[in-house]
Structure 1
Amino acid sequence: MLTKGNDNNSGTLSQPFKTLRKAVNSSNDGDVIEMRNGTYTSDEIKIEINNLTIRSYPGEWAKIEAPVDKGETIAAVLWYSDPNTVGGLLERIEIVGGAFFGLFFDSNWNWGLPVNQRSWC
């Protein structure tokens, strides 16, 4: 991803996407999304992909920013919305905003199943 990318691109290093939503929607289980240096303005991104890594490109720093005044439409910046999603890594990124949460994780705890585990820095 690159702040000057284009969501009509292929999503490679030489043809990066512009938005995190496009990168997540184009991802499969086990993929890695690397964000180049800069601030990415976003709405709420729901993640339902197993073992998805979202991180800054090596040696760079990415920031995901969402409005704080959108109430229920952008309750969280990143929302792991499927309790059956497993794995996932957020690494070397800054998350700012969301009306209620920067990160939100749904879980299976009401059904007696183990809570999802996530690792992030």
Structure 2
Amino acid sequence: MADLKFIGRILGVIGGILMVVLGIIKILNNVLDQAVYELDQFGIDLGMNFVGDAVGGSNDWLVAAALMIILGIVAIYGYQQLAGRGKGDLFVWGIIYIVVGILGAGLGGLLVLIGGIVLLLDNFI
């Protein structure tokens, strides 16, 4: 049987990296979308169409992207903290990964959530 701790750590770090990358992409996407929108008001067409939710003055996307980046960093930090640790740490980081996965949402959050479940399974087996 494969080492569940290793699988949980790998799922957590891949999900964390994905969350950080997607959070950065979301910020860049919305900043560029806002810039394109403002240029469109002056009749300037860049030939690009960015899909974003920043048009209209709402900055909810910024909070969501920042939260995703922070949660991704927590998941990546957990990968490093779990190196050579005992069963008690598996339980703690399993719970942290589950919470991060639920809050992070998306594909990265799903991978972190599954990693947390695997860590808890390894703790109880």
Q: Is the TM value for this pair above 0.5?
A: no
**Larger RCO, structure (CA 8 Å, separation 6 or more):** 2
Shorter-chain TM band: under 0.3
Instruction: From the CA coordinates, give the structure whose radius of gyration is larger.
Output: 2
- Bigger proportion of residues as helix: 2
**TM-score relative to the length of structure 2:** 0.20
